Structure formats: C-alpha cells, structure tokens
Amino acid sequence: MSLRDWYPLALSRDITPGTSAGTRVEGHEFVVWRDAGGAAHIWEDRCPHRGMKMSFGFVRGDHIACLYHGWQYDSEGQCRHIPAHPDLDVPATIRIARFAVLEAGGIIWGCFNEVDGNLPRAPELPAATTPVRSLFIDCPAQRLTALIADIPFEGSAPNVTTRTGRIVGITLGDNVLIAAVQPVSGSESALHLIATGALESQHLKQISTWSEQLRREVEALTSKDNDGEIAA
Amino acid sequence: MSNPVLYNYDLDENCYKVRLLLSCLGIEAETIAVDVFPGNEHLSPAIRAMSPKGSLPVLKQGDLVLHEAEAILAWLARSQKPDKGFLPNDPDTFAHVMMWLAFSARELDVAVRARVTAMMDAPGDIDALRSGAREALRIMEDHMTRQHFDDVEYVAGARATIADIALFPSFALSRDYNIDHDAFPALRRWARAVRRIDGFITMPGIPDYH
Ligand code: FES
C-alpha cells in the first residue's frame, strides 16, 4: 500500500470512546475505533478469523470484538480471547495490522505506509476548532476539491484561501472553515468540515445547508461527466 | 382490559417497530406468528379480513382492528402509557412526529423493499431501490446533524418518540441491503441513543452487543 501521506478519516467528535466505524481510503478498508480510555486506533478492517469486517464489531474497554464469533483484540491488534476456546493461549500470529494515527484540528488522520520511523509531517491546523460535519459525496477527491468554491453560501461566492494537499481553507461569509478531503475510492470522497474558533448552532446549520447543496451539485456534475464518458 | 393481539412476522421490520414500542412501554401483547416467507400466510383470507393488502403488522384489541405500523404506534403510545411521552401533546412536537411518520411510511418504503429484495429474492430493481434508500437515509442524516448542533439526541426532540421507533429499523438493518453505516455519523450517534431507550430490544439482523 502506498498511501504515504496523512489522510483525514473522521471528525474526532464522531468517534466517541467505545465506538467504531468503517472507512475507506482509495478503496482500502479500515476500521477507526476509540477505546474507553480515549485513544483512537486505525486498523485493517478485517478479522483474521474469517475475514469479516471489524467495523461491524463492538468495543469493550480497550478491546474490540468481532461481531461474528466474538474474537477479541487488544489495542496492539493482538487477539486475546477466542470464545469457542476460552482456555487457549492465543498464538501471537493472530493479529490485525495497525496503522499510524494522529488527531489534529478535531480530525482523525491515518497514515498507511508501514515504513518505520519515518512518518510524514503532521498536518498543521489551528488548535481551536469547532467540528461541523462529515459528508460523503459521489465524486473523485480532486474534482471535489476543485469544485468546492463554486457553490454560493447565503448568496455570495466562497473564498478559497489556501489549498495544501488534502486541506482546503475556505471562507463562507464570516465563517472561516477548513475542509479536509478524504479520497474514499476512485469515485467517492468524504469532506470533513471544521470551523476555526467557536460557532453558534445557527451558523453551523447554515454551513450544513451549504454543504448539502454542494453535495447535490457536485454529484449532478459528476454524473454528467460520467454520462459524457459513456457517450464518448 | 385484555392484552392486545399482534399478528407478527419476526423478520418484518414493520412488525419489529410495534414489538419495540410494546417493549419500551412495558406492555405484554399476545403474539400470533404469521408465516410470511415462505408460507405467504399474510395473504390468507383471515389476515386479509383485517388488513386488505395483507400487510403486517395487524393489532387487535377487542373490536378495534388496526393495520399500518404508524397507526398502531400512535394508538399504543396514546392509549396505553401516554405519560411515557412517545406521542407528545405539544402541537409543534406532535406535528414533527407526524412529519417523520409520514417520511417513514413513504420515503423509507424503498428501504423496506430494498431489504426484502436483497434478502428474500422479492422482485425489484435492487440498485434503484438501494439508491432511493440511500437518499432517504441522507435526509435523516442531515436532520440528525442539525439536531446534534443543538445537543438534541432524538428525531423530534430531547426525548424518544414513536418517530424514532418508526425510523430506526431502516437504518439499523441497512447492511441487509448493502448500505454500510460508514457514511452516516449522525445516524450512528442517534442509533446509540435509540439503543439507550428503556426497554430497547433487537430483531434478527440488528446485533445485540452483549
Ligand atoms: S470472523 Fe471474526 S471472529 Fe470469526
């Protein structure tokens, strides 16, 4: 797996302690989960037993359990308990691949290249942020990043202030936002939106409405692109 | 008053809505199993005498016979344990509950059909049904996102109502028709809130995290 950069995967707020969710980067499946102590983990979304998704499972304390036959893994990814063989000392080879994780700007980031020691530089984001929401959009990440400024907010055009890799700084009216774009697959993206500073619920709702319109218009354009390709 | 009688099929999500509310209200019902698949027993004259389309659930109490899950939920909430607040009197909240019940009966019907098509090989264009279901789930996701901005955990307000009960199964069972929960963070948070309602029970396809 290349994926040598930091990829945004979820808003920190949306993965509360004791919960998990599945996600994808360029089509590769991962589970993001947070243990009861508050630490976030990113693993391959595949149980070594029969290959079922770990993201369907559930968290208990600092273990995550597979939904299917209850195999339990500790935060190192090591299988610790097999309900069908409760007395078995589980072999060290039964473990799940883990990946580097960090939280910055209220977003959980993952890096999937396992070359030791040499992680890329962490994304630089303001410390005081308000999470807005994550949206999943049927549109390739690059195209989404290019289109993001095209959807008016309360009648005026957004102003894109910075674009660094997957991070877009964008001003909507008085709101200063950061959009982190996750390439979910070749045709899908997730947009993780945070605002700098504190924001009232009324403004969060306006931004949310804007983002829904963005999703509608971007998907309409993308499906037109695709129809064009089929016709061509 | 005798216990209500529920004509039930365990795998039917509309029957589950009624079982779930009964459990949350703490009411015992007499359950009569109807063999929908493969028996087609819901199309029998006996059921059709109570529910012309042969749709389940059907609830009977004395002379009262009700079909349509939304109507049954409303009747149970209002007549059995009104103090539990599952159908609030306050006009604004009441209207919001009605709005989401209509949504569940109309917009989420594609989700019900997507699941039956995917699981029981019922006729239907699964791709079209699935994309319709996703559209409906997105509307719910956008709504719950707004609720959460105000720290409101349920569909129609701070407390659970029959709107939550009516909307829950289509999301909780979405993996049955191949829609993951990954893209719905606000619905995941809401589903956890629904699981916290006193008396919450599951159905086949909705995991019980033991
Ligand atoms: S597939 Fe995970 S425990 Fe069996």
Burial class (CB in 10 A: 0-12, 13-18, 19+), A186: exposed
Domains of chain A: 6-111 (2.102.10.10), 129-231 (3.30.530.20)
CB contact set of B59 (below 8 Å; sequence gap of 6+): B4, B5, B6, B7, B18, B29, B65, B66, B67, B72, B75, B76
**Nearest CA to CA, how far is B120 from chain A (Å)?**
22
Rounded CA-CA distance A15/B139 in Å is 21
Looking at ligand 1, which residue's alpha carbon is closest to its atom 1? A50
Contact call for B207 and A24, based on CB within 8 A: no
What is the sign, positive or negative, of the torsion defined by CA atoms of B100, B167, B189, B23? positive
> For B124-161, how does the pLDDT look when each residue is reduced to its tens digit (9 = 90+)?
899 999 999 999 999 999 999 999 999 999 999 999 99
Q: Determine the atom of ligand 1 nearest the C-alpha atom of A69.
A: 3
The residue ranges of chain B whose pLDDT is under 50 are none
Q: Which of A24, A25, A18, A69 is nearest to A41 (CA)?
A: A18
Q: Determine the atom of ligand 1 nearest the C-alpha atom of A54.
A: 2
Contact call for B182 and A55, based on CB within 8 A: yes
Rounded to an integer, the average pLDDT of A126-142 is: 95
> For A204-230, how does the pLDDT look when each residue is reduced to its tens digit (9 = 90+)?
999 999 999 999 999 999 998 888 776
pLDDT at A79: 96
Q: Give yes or no for B127 touching A (CB within 8 A).
A: no
How many angstroms is it from A50 CA to the middle of ligand 1?
5
Looking at ligand 1, which residue's alpha carbon is closest to its atom 4? A69
pLDDT at A3: 77
Tokens 């105000």: give the residue.
Answer: B150
Q: Residue type for B118, please?
A: A
Looking at ligand 1, which residue's alpha carbon is closest to its atom 3? A69
Q: Which of A230, A208, A222, A229 is nearest to A143 (CA)?
A: A222
DSSP chain B: -PPPEEEE-TT-HHHHHHHHHHHHHT---EEEE---TTT-GGGSHHHHTTSTT--S-EEEETTEEEESHHHHHHHHHHHT-GGG-SS--SHHHHHHHHHHHHHHHHTTHHHHHHHHHHHH--SS-HHHHHHHHHHHHHHHHHHHHHHHHTT--BTTBSS--HHHHHHHHHHHTGGGGT--STT-HHHHHHHHHHHTSTT----TTS----
pLDDT at B210: 59
**Closest residue, chain A, to B152 (C-alpha):** A201
% chain A with pLDDT above 90:
82
Q: Determine the atom of ligand 1 nearest the C-alpha atom of A66.
A: 2
Let me know: does A101 contact A112? Beta carbons within 8 Å: no
pLDDT at A1: 64
Ligand 1 contacts CB of residue A83 (under 6 A): no
pLDDT at A227: 83
- Give the pairing type, strands A28-34 and A98-104: unpaired
Contact call for B185 and A133, based on CB within 8 A: yes
All residues of chain A having their beta carbon less than 8 Å from the beta carbon of residue B153 are none
Assign A114 a pLDDT band (cuts: 50, 70, 90): low
CB contact set of A146 (below 8 Å; sequence gap of 6+): none
Distances in Å between the Cα of A77 and the Cα atoms of A33, A153, B30 are: 12, 44, 47
CB pairs under 8 A between A and B: 41
Token readout for A206 is 């306006």
- A115 has pLDDT over 60: no
On average, the pLDDT of chain A sits at 93
- A164 has pLDDT over 90: no
Contact call for A21 and B145, based on CB within 8 A: no
Total-model pTM:
0.96
pLDDT at A231: 64
Among B180, B185, B209, whose Cβ lies nearest the Cβ of A134? B185
Domains of chain B: 5-84 (3.40.30.10), 91-196 (1.20.1050.10)
Rounded CA-CA distance B49/A58 in Å is 44
